[in-house]
Amino acid sequence: MIGILIELMHVRKGKALQVVLVLVVSLSSVGVIYFALAHKPQFTQSRVVIMVSTTTSLYQLGALNDLLNDFKNFTHTDVQFNILARGSGEALRLLADGATCFAFTHAPFLELQYIEQGKIERLAIFAYNEFVIVGPRTDPANISKAQNAIEAFKRIYYASEMGLAKFVSRGDFSGTHVRELQLWMIANLSPEGKSWYLKSGQGIAQTLIMADNLQAYTLTDVGSWLSLKNQGKIRNLAELKRDPGYLLNTYSFYISKSPACSASEIQDIAHKFREYLMSRGQDLLAQRYSGSLSPVKGREAIFLQLWEELAQLR
């Protein structure tokens, strides 16, 4: 640019005005370029990505996605949640190892073990529903007449031993499977190895469909049961037994204490989400999931006590 200006200076005087104009325009261009470079937006902060493990029931019901998406929209938090839907046992193991930083589970017995080991921290008990025992409409074990879930399991066991019934277990150390094992233990019975005791090794939806095809008994959370039933995927089973004592089902939110999850951004989002979950999130659950999943709002202390009792159930 300087060379051009020097050449222009040798042009005859009649063109002096053009030289001045060229010089002004050139200097203006330099100023524009400098301003653009000096004020170029800097995108140095990347979005926070958090791995989340969750029980399959919350995932299949759609509640977890609704909560996480509403949290991001309402709080304008720039975070990406990558969700792994697993049984609660696997979800907690991933959390304890630091493979995930958040977890949503419903297995108090397992949760307590990881808490006592110092590997996870509970941030909230945020929702509940019930487990229900479902089975053939003909109810060959007559569990609808049982006084409680323990007696119902005893009836299933003895009817199955007589060749009248079958039972499908998830067999995956999920929250549902752990509760089932606790019930067998309290009944002082072991179905392990019995020909009528079948294991799906899959999520609750697949387990319910398997039980429906075999017209067998199984244990399920009521949310998943109602969801599949309303979709017309269950045709041969009926809800046969509820028990608010032995079959209460609590859902909790945990954060990993692994160094992999110690970043301040993750910790801040965890506590920010807890505040959301126990306020606006409670209203969302009440409005969208009535009958399938209930908020604990106003009864937090009661559900903490119930969680402690369930964690010791054996």
Q: What is the pLDDT of residue 99?
A: 98
170's tokens: 């998830």
pLDDT tens digits for range 199-236: 999 999 999 999 999 999 999 999 999 999 999 999 99
Domain assignment present for residue 2? The answer is: no
Alpha carbon distances (Å) from 144 to 95, 204, 238: 38, 22, 10
In-domain check, residue 114: yes
Q: In the predicted model, what is the mean pLDDT of residues 10-21?
A: 36
Residue 295 to residue 125: CA distance in whole angstroms: 9
**Among 184, 212, 241, which residue terminates a domain?**
241
In terms of domains, do 147 and 229 share one? yes
Whether 33 is in a domain gets the answer no
Residue 236 domain-assigned?
A: yes
> What is the residue type of 282?
Q
Q: How confident is the model at residue 47 (pLDDT cuts 50, 70, 90)?
A: confident
- Domain shared by 122 and 262, yes or no: yes
What is the reported pTM?
A: 0.83
Same domain assignment for residues 213 and 156: yes
Domain limits for position 305: 48-129+248-311
Residues 53 and 143 in one domain: no
Residues 194 and 254 in one domain: no
Give the count of beta carbons closer than 10 Å to the beta carbon of residue 162: 11
Of all residues in the chain, the percent with pLDDT exceeding 70 is: 85
User: Which CATH number is 149's domain given?
Assistant: 3.40.190.10
Q: What is the mean pLDDT of residues 22-30?
A: 35
Query: Is 114 found in the same domain as 74?
Result: yes
- Give the DSSP letter of residue 45: P
Confidence grade of residue 46 (pLDDT, cut at 50, 70, 90):
low
Does one domain contain both 212 and 76?
Answer: no
Number of domains in the chain: 2
Q: What angle do CA 209, 227, 142 make, to 5 degrees?
A: 60
Residue 38 parent element (H or E): helix 16-38
Tell me, yes or no, whether 90 lies in a domain: yes
270, 285: one domain: yes
- Number of Cβ within a 10 Å radius of residue 125: 22
- What is the per-residue pLDDT for 19? 33
Q: Within 13 Å, how many C-alpha atoms sit on residue 308's CB side?
A: 6
Any domain includes 29: no
Mark which of 223, 241, 259 sits at the end of a domain.
241
- Note the pLDDT tens digit of each residue in 239-285: 999 999 999 999 999 999 999 999 999 999 999 999 999 999 999 99
Q: How far apart are CA 233 and CA 204, in angstroms?
A: 13
Q: Number of C-alpha atoms within 13 angstroms, CB side, residue 249?
A: 31
Under 8 Å between Cβ of 109 and 310: yes
pLDDT digits 0-9 by tens, 130-177: 999 999 999 999 999 999 999 999 999 999 999 999 999 999 999 999
Place of tokens 């330099």: 30
pLDDT digits (tens, 9 = 90+) for 72-127: 999 999 999 999 999 999 999 999 999 999 999 999 999 999 999 999 999 999 99
Q: How far is the C-alpha of 210 from the C-alpha of 200, rounded, in Å?
A: 7
| Of the residues 219, 241, 263, the one at which a domain ends | 241
Q: Report the distance separating Cα 186 and Cα 119, nearest Å.
A: 28
CB 191 within 8 A of CB 157: yes
Same structural domain, 68 and 202: no
Which long-range contacts link 196-200 to residues 24+ away (Cβ below 8 Å)? 196/160, 196/161, 196/163, 196/165, 196/166, 196/167, 197/160, 197/166, 197/167, 197/169, 198/166, 198/167, 198/168, 198/169, 199/168, 199/169, 199/170, 199/171, 200/168, 200/169, 200/170, 200/171, 200/172
Q: What residue spans of 215-279 are helical by DSSP H?
A: 222-230, 264-277
Model pLDDT, residue 197: 98
Domain identity same for 230 and 276:
no
125 lies in the same domain as 145: no
DSSP string across 6-17: HHHHTS-GGGHH
